[in-house]
Every structure is written in C-alpha cells, then in structure tokens.
Amino acid sequence: MTEHVPVLLPEVLSFLSEHISLKRVLDCTLGLGGYSGAILSSFPSTTVYALDQDEHALSIAKESLACYGERFRCEKGNFASVPEEIALHAPFDAILFDLGVSNLQLVDGDRGFSFQADGPLDMRMDRNSPLSASTIINTYPEREISAIFWKYGEERFARQLSKGIVRYREEEGPIERTSTLVEVVRKTLPAPVQRKMGGHPARRIFQALRIAVNDELNVLNEGLKEALALAASNALVLVVSYHSLEDRIVKNTFREWKEKDRGSILTRKPVVPSEEEIERNYKSRSAKMRVFSIG
C-alpha cells in the first residue's frame, strides 16, 4: 500500500487537544485516512466523518479504519458540496482540510498527476468528471492554455509553453501522455532558462492543469463557506495548503471571518513544518497551516 505521511500531524493534534469538546470532526479530504486515523486513535470519544472524491482512496481508508466501527463514517463527495449523509451530523467541533494532491494519486502513473511518472494525461481526482488535462492540452486554444498556466501555475513562460504545445499538436498530433508533455516543455524552453527555474521545468504547468481540471480554487472557496455553515460554536477550522494561491484564499477568508466577528485567527503566521519533518517527508516543504476558531 502507498505510504501516507500526514503533514504537520503533531501540530494538528495539538490544536485539537486544546479544544474543550471534540465529539464530531469533519475530515474534508480523507485521502488514505492519515489524519482521520490519528484523530480516532488520539481522541477515543470522537467520531470522525470524512469525505473524498477519489473512490480508490475511499476504499483504502474505509478498510484501514474499519477497526473504529461506528466512530468512523465516510462518503464520496467534494467539500464544496458536503453530502447530505455527512451534513446531517453537523454541527462539527473541528473541520480539517488537507489540500492538494495525495501520495496515492502522485505515485499512480495511470492517474496522470506526476511529471515524474509516465501515464495518460488525466489528473481528475473524481474519475467520473468529464474534463481531463488531455482535453485542455489538446482542444483549448493557445490563449486559454496560456491563461491557465499563468493564473494557476504563476508560470512566467506561459505564452512560450502554450505556443510550443499548440505547435506540437498541429505537427505531431495529440499529446496523450505525461511524458510527451514533459518532452514538449523541455524542447520549448531553452536550456539556460530551464536551469534557472529552480525545479522541474514542467512543475508549474502540471500544478496549473491539476487546479483547472479539478476547479480547485473555486472548490476551496465554496468549501470554506460550507465549513462556516457546518461548524459548531467554538469549532476549529484547520487548513493545510501547499501553494500560494491556496494559502492566499485561506488567509483572506479567515481575515473576512474575523472582520465579521465570526471568531478569531489562532495562527498569526502560518504554521510550517520543522526541518526534521521536511527531512523525513520532502512533500511537506511547502505546507502551511492556518487555524480559525469559530466564535
């Protein structure tokens, strides 16, 4: 089974342990169940309700957490629209979001999330969704592809890359594999530019495509609104994000809530992983956690 190392787990548990009453927790991004399992283990009187749009992840987590019986319940769903079976159990004493792509999705080449593993150009978290990365890359006009790279990947070379992609598909045919897209990126950008990029040259456009395919930023905005509606008085809302676009939304939302007297921000600055955690789990290097206490 794919190993899942929850990011900032001791910090998450520390915030939860200071909560007076923790009867019901909503895990909005179950994944392989790392956070849910730790919460169930650490708080014996707590019930965790969880959701995820990835059916494969749901089946794995359901099996691994079956030992907790009725204390763990999960449903397929997107946190922008919490399934009724879960929402019926509101209000929740804590609501947790772990944003981004899971290890399960990254290591499975067939899901098409990783620029390091060959696979079909897919990137759908919900495999029943009609829009895939292949649709964008092979059917969208150059200007729209460039806009996606710039808006969701903050990619400085968005125009050059979109031009290279459209040129390739016109001359060679559809770009169906992640490895082909990486090859197009490497052929489009001059070597000196690639050396100065500080990371894999396709990293930002893969991020941008994933966000666009799964409508992640709109979903996050809607999910935070949903959390506010489902939260109990004195509830905690904890969000772990992995890039500046997500973190900005969380930061601004929490600030708006505070200005409207909906509660208080418990993290003046975002909580970030220790050097030891980054050494153990490189994926955690970009993580930031913000926590809000509902008034």
CB-based burial label for 257 (10 Å; 0-12, 13-18, 19+): buried
Residue ending a domain, among 214, 235, 261, is 214
201 and 223 inside one domain: no
Q: What is the mean pLDDT of the chain?
A: 95
Q: Which of 131, 143, 269, 282 is nearest to 211 (CA)?
A: 131
Q: What does the pLDDT look like over 265-282, one tens digit per residue?
A: 999 999 999 999 999 998
Domain encompassing residue 137: 112-214
1 within a domain of the structure (yes/no):
no
Among 214, 248, 275, give the residue marking a domain's end: 214
- DSSP label of 271: B
**Stretch 173-194: mean pLDDT:** 97
| DSSP codes joined into one string, 112-126 | ---TTS--BS---SS
What number of other Cβ atoms are within 10 A of residue 171's Cβ? 7
* Structural contact between residues 209 and 123, judged by C-beta atoms closer than 8 angstroms: yes
- The radius of gyration computed from the CA coordinates of the chain, to the nearest angstrom, equals 20
Same domain, 164 and 256: no
pLDDT (0 to 100) of residue 2: 47
Q: Is residue 235 part of a domain?
A: yes
Q: What is the mean pLDDT of residues 23-49?
A: 97
CATH classification of the domain holding 191 = 1.10.150.170
Burial 14-48 (b: 16+ CB within 10 A, else e): ebbeebeebebbbbbbbbbbbbbbbbbeebeebbb
pLDDT at residue number 1 = 41
pLDDT value of residue 3: 53
pTM of the model: 0.94
Looking at the structure, do residues 34 and 85 belong to the same domain, yes or no? yes
Whether residue 4 is contained in a domain is answered as: no
> Looking at residue 4, what is its pLDDT?
63
Regarding whether 96 and 17 lie in a shared domain, the answer is yes
Each residue's pLDDT tens digit, 94-128: 999 999 787 777 778 889 999 999 999 999 999 99
Question: Same domain for 117 and 156?
Answer: yes
Number of domains in the chain: 2
Residue 234 located in a structural domain: yes
Same domain, 131 and 195: yes
Q: Same structural domain for residues 201 and 225?
A: no
Could you give phi then psi for residue 289, rounded to 5 degrees?
A: -115, 135
CB count in 10 Å sphere of residue 73: 17
CATH number at residue 49: 3.40.50.150
Say if residue 245's pLDDT is above 50: yes
More confident of the two residues 283 and 264: 264
In this structure, are 122 and 210 located in the same domain?
yes
Among 197, 214, 231, residue at a domain's last position: 214
2 domain-assigned: no
What pLDDT digit, counting tens, does each position of 184-242 carry? Answer: 999 999 999 999 888 899 999 999 999 999 999 999 999 999 999 999 999 999 999 99
User: Above 80 in pLDDT, residue 79?
Assistant: yes
**Is the domain of 54 the same as that of 13?**
yes
